[in-house]
Structures are given as C-alpha cells and as structure tokens.
Structure 1
C-alpha cells in the first residue's frame, strides 16, 4: 500500500436494545465467526477465558483470493459498555514481517456503542495497516491496480461487517 496509507472501513446499525446487552454480544469473541464469511473460528490464548485489556486470541480465516491464514489479536481498548478494539498481528510471518507489535498491527478492528433513541448505535470499524498484510501482497503482484485492489478488499470487509452487525442486531433484539 502507499506509504502512510491506512485504509478504513466502517458500518453502523441501530439496535433496539440497551448498550449493556449489545456489549455482551460484541465482546463475545467467538460470535463474529457465526456471521462472517471470512472468519472461521476464534479461541482465547494464554489460558485466558474472558475479555481483558491485553488479552490475546487466535483467529482462523479463509478467503477465496487470500487462502487460509491464522492471526493473533490483542485487546488494545476496552471501555465497557462503550468501546472494544483489538490489534491483529501476524505471528507466523505470512506477510513478510511477522507483525507482533500491537502498536503496529496488520489491522485494528473495533466496536463502538453509543446510547441512541432508546437503543444503541453500534459501529464496527477496521483500519488496515500499518504492518504488511495480504493486501500488500496483492498490490505487489499488480501495482498498477492498487486503487482497485484496495476498493475491492474494503468492499469485501464492508459486506462481512454488515452481516456481523445485522447478526448482532437480531440476537440483541430477539432477547428483548
């Protein structure tokens, strides 16, 4: 990717449930795998079995263009019931640099919750970079198509994020 360029994507939905209920769902690290076409499974690492700042979890992903890969994520922000963010790392060095520093991850993902209109405005966002990822490999293969490659990846992520948000919304509203 162009140096200093960290593409972002975000989606939001209004959930007819209070922030505490929505928080229970977004902080269940296994839940997104139920809705995401890319994230296949997730598990806590280091003997952790619950959420905490600095806690780590492993994710397994599959994508037709990128194949299968493993990431390790570290919780970098946790403010109940408002913000949950995690940095995605590349401990296996799949993308060339073995990004293991949560301050310079392959990506940072987050959920933000805001009380709104008797429910919760739920925003899901991702920022790619600054460390290398599969996006960098694709751009290196076809550098003259960089903009199109980035737009395609962001569109895939946006679609997956919307599926996750709608799944969380349905679960939260079902339990009312």
Structure 2
C-alpha cells in the first residue's frame, strides 16, 4: 500500500471501521470497557456469513498489538476460541507491505469442520481478505 505503516496500522487496528472494508463483518464495537487497540482488549463483530443468511455477533479479544507492525485477535470465547485473524505491516519503500491472515485453533471439533467444509471456507476467506485489503488500500492511499 502506498501509505506509511503508521497510517495503515491506525486503520486496521480501529475495529469500529471494519464494516467499511469486510464483506462479512459489517460492524464492530469495543466491549467490556475496552476503548481501543491494546493487547487484551475486547470487542465484538457483527457478522453475516458469506454476505447472506442470519447475522450474529462474535466475541473477540486482541492477542497481539504492536503499533505499526501487527494487530491480531482471536474470535470466540476465552473458553472456546475458534480462530485468529491478524494484520502484519512492514515498511516497503515509501509505503507498506500489508498481510492479512487467519489461523485456526487446533481443536478437534474445528478439524472435523475443516475436513468437511475447509476448502470452500478457505476460498471464501481468501476472497474476503483480498476484498478487505483492496478496500483498505483505497482509503489509506487517498
């Protein structure tokens, strides 16, 4: 992205703006007294899976928060984490190299889900990440 890491990080770590970029999570808000990005902060995301069907709220907790470098969070409860999403940011000339990623928790019930629906969900996640990053790129490069 043709923007400095500071500008990109400010955008990816502001969960209240995710609805502008994500094709599935159309809003999010800080919860449990959290007011901004810091390790251990809580928020919830309002999701419409694949952009169709019923909506639901997912609890999230920030697991890594290094300004201008990484913003990562887990989805699910502390007792039942499901997956982790994050953004890595690195300086790249006058701009930034930005990577969005996800990682599953190594739970048995999740392995069964991914054996049955993993390929389809993986393609959906990859497409969604591309869309999210393209939309973010438009904003930070303005």
Q: Does the 8 Å CA contact 2:31/2:42 hold for their aligned counterparts?
A: yes
* Structure-1 separation of matches of 2:60 and 2:32: 12
Q: Does 1:165 align with 2:133?
A: yes
Residues 50-103 of structure 1: CA deviation (Å, up to 9, x unaligned)? 11110000111112577433211111101111011101114xxxxxxxxx24xx
Contact 2:17 2:27 in 1 (8 A): no
1:125 is aligned, of 77, 101, 109, to: 101
User: Using the alignment, how far apart are the partners of 1:75 and 1:112 within structure 2?
Assistant: 14
Higher helix share: 2
Q: Where does residue 22 of structure 2 map in the other structure? A: 36
Any conservation in 2 of the 1:105–1:130 contact (CA below 8 Å)?
A: no
Are residues 1:61 and 2:47 paired? Answer: yes
Between structure 1 and structure 2, the one with the greater Rg is 1
Distance 1:168 1:161 in 2: 10
Once the two structures are TM-superposed, the CA of residue 48 in structure 1 deviates from its matched residue by 1.7
Among residues 108, 120, 141, which one is paired with 2:84 in the alignment? 108
| Partner secondary structure for residue 70 of structure 1 | strand
Number of matched pairs: 139
Distance 2:32 2:3 in 1: 33
CA shift at 1:130, angstroms?
2.7
2:16 and 2:30 in contact (8 A); partners too: no
- 2:34 matches 1:48: yes
- The residue number in structure 1 matching 2:76 is 89
Distance 2:21 2:6 in 1: 21
Q: Which has the higher contact order (CA 8 A, sep 6+)?
A: 1
